[in-house]
Structure 1
Amino acid sequence: MKVIAFGASTSSTSINKALATYAANLIEGADVEVLDLTQFDVPMFSEDKEKEIGQAEGAKMFLTAIHQADALVISFAEHNGHHPAAYKNLFDWATRIEREVFKGIPAIYLATSPGPGGASNVLAAAANSAPYFGGNVKATISVPSFYDNFDLEAGSLRNAELAEQIQTAVKQL
């Protein structure tokens, strides 16, 4: 099974990328590819820019990567209660090429933040909008207080209850 995982963030120290990587690597026998969203450079979306350049190459590359997957593990970062601008911009370009970006590929949606909210606002928004974009979300999990619950050095969850929730979720893929 080919699993594409990514954190919906362009931070070089993304805690969401760490969480997505952890979860994807729990899938037995999976061939895991972790995307770095900085690989998919796109200009700020506008209809004027789209008329000028057509389809953004970075968005085409993103869609190609997504469509190679048998399963997706995405962890959503939250900036002021919303998707980070860089992810939203890439996603907007991708939907202009193909509205059903996720093509019904089974997915686990995660989110985390340093605070107690665990990026739950953006996780809910992503899960609620997923059906409009071909999303096939099997489970959603918010991990609050990332640095209290995740050991970055070991690359694993310290919190046994959250670890069990993620283990159960990835079995649905």
Structure 2
Amino acid sequence: MNRTQTLSHQAAFREFARIDHWHAPHAVTLTMKQGMPVANGYRSTMAYLDEGKASQNLGHFHSVLSRKLLGKPADRYGKRVPLIPVIEGGNDKRFHYHIMIDCPRADLQSDFSNLVRDTWLRTQWGHDQIDIQPQADIGWINYISKFRDKPNYSDAVDWPNYHNPD
């Protein structure tokens, strides 16, 4: 992909990732363990993180957090918390997600950061380096759509976990 195409992708993503209808957007960075020991008979080996496992882990996080925030409709009707995820890392840099996430309930906004942190740390690959900033705006979307730290820019948006309903 040439520079012009990449710039075009970036502009399209920024236009597509609108948050003006969100209630309480938060800018979130979630880091991931890069490997973990796995029992293998008489000895243990290391399982290493890749983008597929990272996406699956984020999907689990998103499901659990949605269930905590939205209750039964998350399970019954597939309702999800609005979430715009971009993965960075690889090539000797720790995998991490930059996420724009909405807190859809005013009564939980004061405890939202703790809910996100607790839910992330309970995932298989969740690491304890977490940054959560309330009152995020389009500047965070611009930051997460930067070119740096993305081995393949067009694959950086985690589309299976992207959820931004109108």
Q: State the TM-score, normalizing by the size of structure 2.
A: 0.29
Higher RCO (CA < 8 A, seq sep 6+): 2
Max radius of gyration: which structure?
A: 2
Give me the TM-score of the superposition, normalised by structure 1.
0.28
